[in-house]
Amino acid sequence: MILIADSGATKTDWLAVEKDNTTHKYETAGINPYFLKPTEITEILEKELLPFLNGNRVEKVFFYGAGCSTEKKRFIIEEALENVFPAGRFEVYHDLLGAAHALFGKNPGIACILGTGSNSCYYDGKDIVENVTSLGYMYGDEGSGTSMGKKLITAFLKDQFPAELKKRFIDKYDLNIEEILDATYNQPKPNQFFSSFSWFLSENISDTFIKEIVLTSFDEFFENQAGKYSMISKAPIGFVGSISFVFEKELKKVAKKRGLKIERIERNPIDGLLRYYKNLAY
């Protein structure tokens, strides 16, 4: 059996490919080496993935993950994989390369991720040759669910919501300032806390105040990330991630305003990665 994984901050999509090319899809918690130790990743794999593999021998794992841009972080993933699949061989890559492979295969393009976090690159059909560093939720992640959530929560805390929107928010979440600050500064994974409010944004996208948050976030993404590439007006542009999928209309509106055309948006890159690896040999 061969496993293909695409992991973000919130969840990991797994695709198991058997020798007869039968495929099975699974989902586990997000696996990011910036937030998890090898032992914690091992525990996730053992509890959330291994029971579904029915004892099949895993021969190879292609793992694409957020936070896997350096050798040191990739080693954390490799160590955990080796703990769970001692007979396997592992190839660990950054999730940005996974997005490029899923969107464009072996053809060039501007590959973008808009989910809990955000990232982008220019891919020449083989390698990432340009990449504006995203810097994560503290200093970047423009256009992401986390970034939008931070804008929403900031406006709420500063009492900038229109009255009706404020009522809807309080009725849905019943959060006070102490709880918000605790989730922000004391609890693990504050990025996921902020990103969770993207559903409120989606449910209320017809509201002018909400729509402006979304449009501004996407404009910041193009201004600070995707718009910086030398081939932005020439190469095809594609997106993966839940935020790009859910807010497709708004994203395309911002791109069009900048004279750009988005050619492909996919919620999950895992199917595209299967196409990329369709000729896997055992």
User: Measured between alpha carbons, how far is 191 from 184 in angstroms, rounded to an integer?
Assistant: 8
Closest alpha carbon to 246 in 232, 266, 276: 266
Contact 116, 7 (CB under 8 A): no
Output the pLDDT for position 281. Answer: 47
Q: Is the pLDDT of residue 280 over 80?
A: no
Highest mean pLDDT among 22-26, 33-37, 42-46, 52-56: 42-46
Output the pLDDT for position 282. Answer: 45
Average pLDDT rounded to a whole number, residues 11-27: 89
Output the pLDDT for position 217. Answer: 96
Distance of alpha carbon 128 from its chain centroid, rounded?
17
Q: Is 31 helix (H, G, I), strand (E, B) or coil?
A: coil
User: Measured between alpha carbons, how far is 145 from 196 in angstroms, rounded to an integer?
Assistant: 7
Question: pLDDT per residue over 189-245, tens digit each?
Answer: 888 899 999 999 999 999 999 999 999 999 999 999 988 998 998 999 999 999 999
Question: pLDDT per residue over 102-142, tens digit each?
Answer: 999 999 999 999 998 899 999 999 999 998 887 776 777 89
Token pair 């404009």 is found at 219
Question: pLDDT per residue over 163-184, tens digit each?
Answer: 999 999 999 998 889 999 998 8
Contact 254, 143 (CB under 8 A): no
Closest alpha carbon to 49 in 121, 1, 89, 101: 1
Output the pLDDT for position 122. Answer: 96
Residue 55 pLDDT level (bands cut at 50, 70, 90)? confident
Q: Which two tokens mark 70?
A: 């350096």
Q: Can you list the domains of the chain with their CATH numbers?
A: 2-99+270-276 (3.30.420.40)
Question: pLDDT per residue over 151-164, tens digit each?
Answer: 999 999 999 999 99
Percent of the chain with pLDDT over 70: 98
Q: Mean pLDDT for the chain?
A: 90
SS3 of 118-161: the string is: EEEEEECCCCEEECCCCCHHHHCCCCCHHHHHHHHHHHHHCCCC
Output the pLDDT for position 274. Answer: 87
Output the pLDDT for position 20. Answer: 81
Closest alpha carbon to 10 in 273, 249, 282, 243: 243
Residue 279 pLDDT level (bands cut at 50, 70, 90)? low
Q: Which two tokens mark 218?
A: 């996407």
**pTM (predicted TM-score):** 0.82
Average pLDDT rounded to a whole number, residues 4-12: 86
